[in-house]
Structure 1
Amino acid sequence: MADRIGRVAVGELELAYETFGDADNPPLLVISGLATQMLGWDERFCDQLADRGFQVIRFDNRDIGLSTHLHEGGVPNVMALLGGQDAPAAPYTLVDMADDTAGLLDALGLESAHIVGASMGGMIAQQLAIRHPHRVRSLTSIMSTPSRQVGQARPEAQAALFLPPPTDPDTAAERALTVYRVIGSPGYPLDEHRVADIARRAFNRGHDPAGVARQYAAIAVSPDRTPGLRESTVPTLVIHGEDDPLVQVDGGLATADAVPGARLVVVAGMGHNLPRKLWPQLIDEIVAHARAVEVGPATRA
């Protein structure tokens, strides 16, 4: 099970994090997606990775959960930014969020870690590998893309992101169920109890629609990472759902195509979530990729 939640200073921010497993094991850091607190990486998923010989670390990105919320950044006009219209600059970019992640490693006394990112977390992980390659032992990019122009959301999935924000834990649960019925995995049953439970917990833990808008703005203004990924020497695994309506599979294909030597796993029936029935396959892939680096010539100090 998880240790207690810790908080560390990273620049002017405070990031909340939680660890699983033995601190003497190789570190594996998981990065969450847009509007997703660390709770999105299920405790049981993290425990299973830890049981395979890793110290697993999950954390709240800036502007979400128990980490610092940048209220002074206001509420950006995300639709204008997405449309390329004139709008005030976004408060920060994915580069800043990658620097947060590197700062978290510093604060935890870790020279490097295996990095696993999902959705926006995959974008941050890619940027970390570009900007701080010596901090990344291996990269696993899940249901992500090197550019918001690649693998663009289907209209119904895009619309789901812009539903009115919830006003209490119950409406948070209802909204989350509505969203995941659209973007979830058509080949696997949706664990509605888990989705609703996480949504309620997240609402009580730190509800901030403006913070989510600032994260979305960071995605909107961040440039294509393809040129940087083409120069990457970080061992890379790309996992993507064949039926992902939010970041369509072209995003995963483009990521794998950009990184020299990357391995691509396309999962039939998988959408924009991690169904529990897929955990054994996903964990096997992540563990095999990380272990190959630990025992091979690419091992980093």
Structure 2
Amino acid sequence: MREGFIPAPGGRVFYRIIGQDAIGVPLLALHGGPGIPHDYLEPLEALADERPVVFYDQLGCGESDRPGDLSLYTLPRFVEELAAVRRELGLERVHLLGQSWGCMLAVEYMLVSRPAGVASLVLCGPCLDSRRFAEDQRVHLEHMPEAVREAVLKAEASGDFTAPDYQAAIMEYYRKHVCRLDPWPECLNRAVEKMNPAIYEHMWGPSEFTARGTLRNHGRTEELGAIDAPVLFTCGRLDEARPETAEEYRASIPGAELRIFEDASHEHHLEQTEAFLAAVADFLRRADESVRRS
């Protein structure tokens, strides 16, 4: 294992490389949030038997610097940060794996920066269009108990998101559509403890189903067809990113694949770890082989 800090726009970011001597094309993981560090992606370390697995905490959360200036936390700056991570770590050829908001970051990077050397994309629980993601939460919310729905509507009407009944409603929702394991894994609890809620609320909002932050109108789904790297989408059957939405995204990219995991939700890499890792490992091997043949 190798870890340390590298310079990026706005401050230093923390990185960790597992299996740095493995011979395969490295996998670079982009965590979700915004503002939730990489710890909950820990199961990906198992892929280091074939290739280096690289994690980093985006600026403002986890072990990275935490500047208080919220104007730093924009999608364009996070794209620049991703480019800096690749440059500083010498990741000339790399697979990108995004989870949730990390998928939005990966797609923005591909469409805006047009980077060379990206061997493939794995997009897990994809949040690619903020309005669509929020709409999916509303669909799920309709199937929650009446008390949960009422608490959410009451908070949104009053603007008070601190009420105990609202906080209880959030946790009931999260335990169905974010992570269904009971108790939550230690790596997920650790990530939540190290998150930066100010960034999350600034960019997204007070909860998954109340998007009112700076990302609230972002989406590039009409441009997905311009991505020319192999793409694997993954989601849980009860994912916040509903399978119907993930299928629409898949259909927008020629040759893209979709894997749906049953009895799983947004953190399906934690709920169905063995099957998830097998699917990702197989996809990465096939992407590597495709590059070798070309």
- TM class, shorter-chain normalised? 0.7 to 0.9
> Aligned residue for 2:232?
237
Write out aligned runs for 1:1-301 (5 A): 3=1, 5-25=3-23, 26-34=25-33, 35-42=35-42, 45-51=43-49, 53-73=50-70, 92-130=73-111, 131-151=113-133, 152-155=135-138, 156=141, 164=162, 180-184=174-178, 190-192=181-183, 194-195=185-186, 198-200=188-190, 202-203=192-193, 206=194, 208-216=196-204, 217-222=213-218, 224-244=219-239, 246-274=240-268, 276=270, 278-297=272-291
Q: CA deviation at 1:11?
A: 2.6
Q: Is the deviation greater in 121-130 or in 273-282?
A: 273-282
The CA distance in 1 between the partners of 2:99 and 2:293, in whole Å, is 23
The code of the aligned residue for 1:199 comes to N
The CA distance in 1 between the partners of 2:171 and 2:55, in whole Å, is 23
Distance 1:147 1:198, change over 3 A: closer
Q: Structure 1, residues 61-97: CA drift from partner, whole Å, max 9, x if none?
A: 1221122334122xxxxxxxxxxxxxxxx75433332
Q: Percent identity?
A: 21
Q: Structure 1, residues 157-195: CA drift from partner, whole Å, max 9, x if none?
A: 9959x9649xxxxxx9x999656413235xxx6141525
Q: 2:121·2:232 contact (CA, 8 Å) conserved in 1?
A: yes
Q: CA deviation at 1:58?
A: 1.1
Give the secondary structure class of the aligned counterpart of 1:5.
strand
Give the secondary structure class of the aligned counterpart of 1:261.
coil
Kindly tell me the number of residue pairs found equivalent between the two proteins: 264
The CA distance in 1 between the partners of 2:72 and 2:10, in whole Å, is 14
Q: Structure 1, residues 92-145: CA drift from partner, whole Å, max 9, x if none?
A: 433332221121011111113101111111111122222334242100001113
The CA distance in 2 between the partners of 1:241 and 1:232, in whole Å, is 23
The CA distance in 1 between the partners of 2:136 and 2:28, in whole Å, is 27
Q: 2:40·2:190 contact (CA, 8 Å) conserved in 1?
A: no
Structure 1, unpaired ranges of 5+: 74-89, 166-171
Q: Is the deviation greater in 92-101 or in 282-291?
A: 92-101
CA RMSD of superposed structures (Å)? 3.2
The CA distance in 2 between the partners of 1:175 and 1:13, in whole Å, is 36
Give the secondary structure class of the aligned counterpart of 1:228.
helix
Q: 1:14·1:68 contact (CA, 8 Å) conserved in 2?
A: yes
The CA distance in 1 between the partners of 2:15 and 2:173, in whole Å, is 26
User: Which TM-score applies when normalising by structure 1?
Assistant: 0.76
The code of the aligned residue for 1:39 comes to D
The CA distance in 2 between the partners of 1:177 and 1:267, in whole Å, is 22
Q: Is the deviation greater in 136-145 or in 21-30?
A: 21-30
Structure 2, unpaired ranges of 5+: 205-212
The code of the aligned residue for 2:39 comes to L
Give the secondary structure class of the aligned counterpart of 2:181.
coil
The code of the aligned residue for 1:219 comes to L
Q: CA deviation at 1:233?
A: 0.5
Q: CA deviation at 1:39?
A: 0.7
The CA distance in 1 between the partners of 2:195 and 2:115, in whole Å, is 33
Distance 1:267 1:61, change over 3 A: same
- State the 4+ residue runs in structure 1 displaced beyond 6 angstroms: 174-177
Give the secondary structure class of the aligned counterpart of 2:47.
helix
